[in-house]
């Protein structure tokens, strides 16, 4: 290629603009004026317009391109995006540090990496061979929304990484809206007579989830990165080194992040950030501590859906005073009747609040909350606002006592409150519209019947129009009925109908979980299915026999028996069984299952099945499926593009199974 050719000039312009973007948006140290930058961008646009073959996906002119997306696609996170445990006091932070040192067998101080906890929207971004490839929201931690086009519009997001990054690099971070940009955007919107946003977090979330990336491009979004997802290649030995590596690759990190010494260093950082909070150019709602050494992180591992080596230390909740204008009762999936205070709207914790939970009647009576009271409410981050206490006013004689309704406010069925219990429940079951909506959403969930596309808006319409009275009615719906719903085109209706029909073949554990029996989660449903093998045997089981299931105590057993004895539920289950089928399971005590007592870790991509299907297959054979590798791991199943878990297994001498060996282990043919 001639150094004077249009292709060479375009390449030089792209590199020059990328360098200027890096200095301006990441380093905050521009080398050229806006006018000079605009001239470079204009020349590149003109070159690409005259020579369309020179246009590349990573060109800075392509940050906004294409047409509005009709909907966000689903992205499955190969490495789940976990949550963090929270601390609200210094003692909880000290307890966290103590647990870390005990598990590591350390008496000396642990080095931590501390950083502000941004109040934005978590995302994950994949780079392949240094090229921007995909971006997704956190979603439920396992499945997120594809926002590739929108994140591309953020100017601090490099489209090509610098230096020598790993060939596959997935980075996690937070999209946020700087305070100055938020205030400027609201001023401009108000001048145009348009709606303004309540706070920067809502503005960032709304901007990132625009169906038209060209709208996102007009919003002043920024992004900081702080973690890794899937990586193919070497990983830095500590979190502080990781942040330095991210900056070297052109990825923006929070400038306030630093390495601190022990728990006292953590608490000093927290106090410093609390003092600086109002002057920072972005909103934060706390700080995050992470054990700095990666080898220590791996030794500590994970519990449930959170790492043992990290903690979010939240700032104290914000409080405000307002008036209780009414108390209403809401009905949930399990029939729980919950009192909710309707408040005179008040701005607190970055949002306007008009409702607050009262939890249950015990709380109402303990706090003596009455209609007309002046109350203190508390809101912290995304936590549901709650009534903290009543402000005593002896001269106020218009207070009205709150009483539990005798009948359900939704369906009119009797409301019962167990003696000595805090929670009151509607006895209407599926006949209660409120319970029906929640029960149907649970039934359709990914880990239940997995009916893709059956969301809250659609379920609410189906219930409102009396098209669905029980889960079985879902399977009798026609495409035309679905297409008649609001915001449902013919194609979407056909896709949902196909998803419904596809869910009719399931497994007994999934079916049991989908029924929504109180306190019966996935693990309990699996134990019950293994113990009885068939639904018929479960239906015929006595309360005492249900209590014989491992990990099922008298309370859960009573809930199961009560659910199965309900006439409404028996009728609904009978109707379901006309549509839904599953294979019976061999009745095998958990202790004698082939993989009982073994802990298996999955890493990489399997060609024969999804990660979820592999997990179910292992659990059906009695294995425990863990998220991290340790000396106690029995085996690691390594699919294509296996990452750090495979390396860890090799370092510890843990048995590694290829996909063929794994399929043989679970009794399937490759």
Burial 153-172 (b: 16+ CB within 10 A, else e): bbbbbbbbbbeebbebbbbb
SS3 601: strand
- Report whether 221 contacts 208 (CB < 8 A): yes
Secondary structure of 556-576 in the HEC alphabet? HHHHHHHHHHCHHHHHHHHHH
Distance CA 18, CA 12 (A): 10
Tell me, what DSSP letter sits at residue 217?
Answer: T
Catalytic residue chosen out of the listed positions 117, 252, 314, 645: 117
Q: What angle do helix axes 456-464 and 433-444 make, rounded to 10 degrees?
A: 140
- Report whether 371 contacts 326 (CB < 8 A): yes
Continuous H helices in 277-394? 294-300, 361-367
- Distance set, CA 341 to CA 247, 273, 336, 387 (Å): 47, 34, 16, 8
Active site annotation includes 624: no
Residue 45 CB partners (closer than 8 Å, separation 6+): 61
- Shortest CA distance to 134 belongs to which of 57, 71, 207, 82? 57
Find where tokens 């015929």 sit. Answer: 540
| Strand-pair category, 655-657 with 635-638 | parallel
Residue 635 CB partners (closer than 8 Å, separation 6+): 598, 600, 601, 654, 655, 656, 657
Consecutive H or E run containing 322: strand 318-331
Active site residues: 117
């Amino acid at each position: 290629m001639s150094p004077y050719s249009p292709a060479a000039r375009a390449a030089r312009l792209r590199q020059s603009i990328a360098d200027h973007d890096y200095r301006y948006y990441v380093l905050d140290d521009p080398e050229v004026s806006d006018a000079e930058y605009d001239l470079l961008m204009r020349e590149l646009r003109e070159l690409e317009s005259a020579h369309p073959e020179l246009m590349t996906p990573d060109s800075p002119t392509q940050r906004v391109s294409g047409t509005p997306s009709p909907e966000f696609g689903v992205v499955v996170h190969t490495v789940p995006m976990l949550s963090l445990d929270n601390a609200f006091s210094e003692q909880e932070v000290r307890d966290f540090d103590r647990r870390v040192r005990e598990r590591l067998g350390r008496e000396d101080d642990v080095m931590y990496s501390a950083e502000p906890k941004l109040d934005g929207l978590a995302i994950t971004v994949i780079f392949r061979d240094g090229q921007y490839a995909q971006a997704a929201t956190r979603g439920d931690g396992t499945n997120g929304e594809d926002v590739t086009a929108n994140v591309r519009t953020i100017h601090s997001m490099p489209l090509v990484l610098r230096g020598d990054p790993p060939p596959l690099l997935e980075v996690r971070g937070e999209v946020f809206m700087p305070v100055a940009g938020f205030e400027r955007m609201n001023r401009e919107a108000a001048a145009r007579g348009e709606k303004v946003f309540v706070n920067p977090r809502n503005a960032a979330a709304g901007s990132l989830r625009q169906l038209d990336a060209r709208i996102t491009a007009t919003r002043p979004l920024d992004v900081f990165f702080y973690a890794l997802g899937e990586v193919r290649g070497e990983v830095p030995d500590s979190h502080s080194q990781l942040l330095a590596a991210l900056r070297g690759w052109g990825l923006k990190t929070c400038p306030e992040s630093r390495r601190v010494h022990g728990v006292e260093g953590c608490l000093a950082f927290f106090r410093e950030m609390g003092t600086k909070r109002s002057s920072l150019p972005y909103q934060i709602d706390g700080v995050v501590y992470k054990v700095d050494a990666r080898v220590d992180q791996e030794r500590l591992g994970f519990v449930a859906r959170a790492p043992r080596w990290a903690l979010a230390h939240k700032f104290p909740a914000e409080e405000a005073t307002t008036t209780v204008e009414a108390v209403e009762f809401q009905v949930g999936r399990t029939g729980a009747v919950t009192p909710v205070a309707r408040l005179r709207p008040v701005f607190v914790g970055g949002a306007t609040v008009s409702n607050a939970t009262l939890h249950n009647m015990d709380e109402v009576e303990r706090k003596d909350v009455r209609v007309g009271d002046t109350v203190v409410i508390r809101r912290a981050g995304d936590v549901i606002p709650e009534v903290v206490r009543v402000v005593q006013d002896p001269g106020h004689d218009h207070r009205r006592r709150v009483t539990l309704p005798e009948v359900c406010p939704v369906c009119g069925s009797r409301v019962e409150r167990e003696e000595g219990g805090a929670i009151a429940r509607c006895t209407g079951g599926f006949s209660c519209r409120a319970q029906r909506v929640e029960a149907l959403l649970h039934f359709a969930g990914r880990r239940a019947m997995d009916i893709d596309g059956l969301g809250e808006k659609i379920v609410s319409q189906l219930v409102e129009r009396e098209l669905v009275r029980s889960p079985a009615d879902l399977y009798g719906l026609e495409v035309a009925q679905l297409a008649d719903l609001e915001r449902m085109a013919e194609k979407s209706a056909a896709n949902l109908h196909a998803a419904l029909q596809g869910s009719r073949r399931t497994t007994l554990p999934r079916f049991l979980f989908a029924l929504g029996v109180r306190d019966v989660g996935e693990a309990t449903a699996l134990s019950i299915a293994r113990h009885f093998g068939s639904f018929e045997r479960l239906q015929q089981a006595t309360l005492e026999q249900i209590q014989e299931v491992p990990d099922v105590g008298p309370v859960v057993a009573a809930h199961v028996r009560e659910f199965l004895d309900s006439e409404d539920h028996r009728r609904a289950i009978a109707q379901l069984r006309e549509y839904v089928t599953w294979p019976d399971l061999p009745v095998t005590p958990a202790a004698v299952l082939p993989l009982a007592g073994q802990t298996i870790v999955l890493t990489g991509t399997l060609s024969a099945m999804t990660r979820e299907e592999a997990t179910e297959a292992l659990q059906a054979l009695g294995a425990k499926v863990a998220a991290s590798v340790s000396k106690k791991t029995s085996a690691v199943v390594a699919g294509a593009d296996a990452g750090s878990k495979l390396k860890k297994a090799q370092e510890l001498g843990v048995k590694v199974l290829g996909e063929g060996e794994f399929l043989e282990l679970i009794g399937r043919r490759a």
